A and B are shown apart, each in its own frame.
Chain A
Amino acid sequence: MKKFFLLSFLASFLMIGVAIAQNTTVNGKVTDEAGAPIAGASVLVKGTKTGVNSDAQGNFTIAVQANKVLEVVAVGYESRQVSTNAKSFLIVLKQDVKSLSEVVVTGFGGSLIKKELTGNIARVKGKDIEYMPTPSVDAALQGKAAGVFVNSQSGKLGQAVTVRVRGNSSISASSQPLYVLDGVPVTANDNSSYGGDMNPLTDINPNDIESIEVLKDASAGAIYGSRAANGVVLITTKRGKSGKAQITFNLQTGYSEATKRLPMLNSTQYAELILEGAKYNDDADGTPYDDPYSWTSYVKNDVMDYYSYGEWSKDPSKTYDWQDRVFQKGHYRQADLQLRGGNDKTKFFSSMQHLEQGGTIIGNELTRTTGRLNVDQQANNWLDVGISLSLSRTYNKRLPDDNAFSNPLQAVALMPMTPFIDPTTGLDAGTPPGDLNIPLYYNPVLSIKYGSFAQEVFRTFGNTYLKAKLLPGLTFQSEFGLDYLSQNEESYFRSETIKNQTRATNGLGTNTGAFITNYNTNSYFNYTKVAGVHNFNATFGMQYQQSQSRFNFTEGTDFPSNSYQKIASAANKTGGSSSQSDFRFLSYFLRSNYIFNEKYIVSASGRIDQSSRFGKDSRSGFFPAVSAGWIMSNESFLKNFEALSFLKARASYGIVGNAEIGNFPQLGLFTGGAGYTGTGGQRPTQLANSQLQWETTAQFDAGFDFGFFNNRITGEVDYYVKNTTDLLLNVNIPATTGFGSVVKNLGALENKGFEFVLNTQNTVGAFKWNTSFNVALNQGKVTDIQGQVIEGGVSSMNRVVEGYPIGVFFTPEFAGVDPANGDALFFKNTKNADGSLDRTTTNDYNEAQRIVAGDPNPDVIFGLTNNFSFKGFDATIFFNGVAGNQNNIYGMGRYSSASMLYEDNNTADQLGRWQKPGDITNIPQVRLYTVNGSQASSRYIVDGSYIRLRTASLGYTFNSKQLSKYKIDKLRIYVSGQNLLTITKYPYWDPEVNADSFDSNIAKGNDFYTPPQPRTFLVGVNISF
Chain B
Amino acid sequence: MKIFNLNIKNSIFACIAVGMIAIGCEKKLDVQPYQTLSEDKALLTESDVSGTLVGAYDAVSSAAAYGGDMMILNDLIGNKTNIAFRGTFAALNDAYNTIMTANNSFAAATWSSAYNTINVANNVLENTSKVTSSATRKNSVEGQALFLRASMYFELLKLYAKPFNDGNPATNLGVPLVLTATKAPIKESDYVARATVKAVYDQVVADLIKAESLMPSTNTKFATKWAAAAQLSRVYLMLGNYTEAAAAANRVIAGSGKSMTPEFKNNWFTYINFGGVTPNEYIFYIKVTNQDGANSFNTYYGAPLGAFPGSAGRRDMRIQNAHLNIYETGDIRRAFFTGTSSASRYTLKHLDRFGDVPVIRLAEMYLTRAEANFRNSTTVGATPLADVNLIRKRAGLADLTSVTLDAILKERASELAFEGNNLFESQRLKKSIGTIDWNSPKLILPIPQREMDVNKQLVQNEGY
Contact = CB atoms under 8 A, between A and B. Distances in A.
Central interface residue in A470, A542, A929, by most chain B CB within 10 Å: A470
Contact of B123 (A2, A675, A684): A684
Contacts of A640: none
Given A476-B11, A679-B54, A672 B37 contact: yes
B90 A611 contact: no
Contacts of A895: 88
B140 to A, nearest CB: 14
Given A664-B36, A683-B55, A735 B22 contact: no
Nearest to B29: A612
Interface stretch (A271-279, A337-345, A579-587, A625-633): A579-587
Interface stretch (B1-9, B230-238, B383-391, B419-427): B1-9
A931 B99 contact: yes
Contact of A674 (B34, B40, B55, B315): B55
B289 A523 contact: no
Interface stretch (B367-375, B396-404, B451-459): B451-459
Interface stretch (B185-193, B239-247, B262-270, B325-333): B185-193
Nearest to B315: A437
Contacts of B296: none
A588 B290 contact: no
Given A382-B3, A503-B312, A682 B25 contact: no
A684 B39 contact: yes
Contacts of B293: 676-677
B464 A557 contact: no
A673 B51 CA distance: 11
B182 A738 contact: yes
Contacts of B34: 579-581
B31 interface: yes
B18 A505 contact: no
Interface stretch (B109-117, B130-138, B164-172): B109-117
A737 B115 contact: yes
B61 A468 contact: no
A502 interface: yes
Nearest to A2: B3
A469 interface: yes
A677 B288 contact: yes
Contact of B54 (A498, A680, A687, A734): A680
Nearest to A689: B184
Contacts of A437: 315, 343-344
Contact of B454 (A5, A580, A732): A732
Given A436-B304, A476-B11, A574-B290, A737 B186 contact: yes
A441 B3 CA distance: 78
Contacts of A1009: none
A382 B4 CA distance: 10
A678 B115 CA distance: 24
Given A523-B21, A580-B34, A680-B51, A735 B116 contact: yes
Nearest to A930: B97
Interface string A368-396: 00000000000001100000000000000
B329 to A, nearest CB: 22
A478 B17 contact: yes
Interface string A434-478: 001100010000000000000000000000000011110010101
A950 interface: no
A586 B115 contact: no
A669 interface: yes
Interface residues of A, number: 95
B151 interface: no
A689 B185 contact: yes
Given A612-B31, A683-B56, A432 B51 contact: no
Nearest to B108: A735
A619 interface: yes
Nearest to A502: B312
B312 A498 contact: yes
A499 interface: yes
A684 B289 contact: no
B54 A5 contact: no
Interface string A657-690: 0000001100111111111111111111111110
Contacts of B314: 502
B36 A586 contact: no
Contacts of A2: 2-3
Contacts of B221: 676-677
B287 to A, nearest CB: 4
A319 to B, nearest CB: 23
Contacts of A579: 34-35
B42 A684 contact: yes
A521 B97 contact: no
Contact of A584 (B31, B52, B88): B31
B218 interface: no
A557 B354 CA distance: 13
Contacts of B2: 2, 5
A796 B43 CA distance: 36
B26 interface: yes
A991 to B, nearest CB: 25
A295 B56 CA distance: 47
A306 B343 contact: yes
Contacts of B61: 676-677
Interface string B332-355: 000000000101100000000100
Given A676-B292, A737-B115, A738-B118, A505 B309 contact: yes
Contacts of A575: 291
A382 B56 CA distance: 66
A682 B182 contact: no
Contacts of B343: 302, 306, 437
B103 interface: yes
B448 interface: yes
Contacts of B25: 544, 584, 586
A672 B35 contact: yes
Nearest to B177: A736
Contacts of A683: 52, 55-56, 58-59, 116, 120, 123
A894 B89 CA distance: 12
Interface string A540-569: 011010100000000001000000000000
B123 A588 contact: no
Contacts of A381: 3
A572 interface: yes
Contacts of A574: 290-291
B133 to A, nearest CB: 17
Contacts of B21: 521, 523, 542, 544
Interface in A460-513: 468-471, 474, 476, 478, 498-499, 502-503, 505
B316 to A, nearest CB: 11
A433 interface: yes
B57 interface: yes
A742 B182 CA distance: 12
Given A687-B182, A735-B451, A670 B57 contact: no
A795 interface: yes
B119 A738 contact: yes
A306 B344 CA distance: 11
B358 interface: no
Nearest to B178: A736
B214 interface: no
Interface in B294-312: 303-304, 306, 309-310, 312
25 contacts: A9-B4, A437-B315, A468-B7, A474-B11, A502-B314, A544-B22, A581-B33, A586-B29, A667-B33, A669-B36, A669-B37, A670-B52, A676-B58, A676-B221, A677-B293, A684-B123, A735-B115, A735-B448, A736-B451, A737-B178, A738-B116, A738-B122, A739-B182, A789-B450, A791-B450
Interface of A: 2, 5-6, 9, 302, 306, 381-382, 432-433, 436-437, 441, 468-471, 474, 476, 478, 498-499, 502-503, 505, 521, 523, 525, 541-542, 544, 546, 557, 572, 574-575, 579-584, 586, 588, 610-612, 619, 663-664, 667-689, 732-740, 742, 789, 791, 795-796, 845-846, 894-895, 929-931, 935
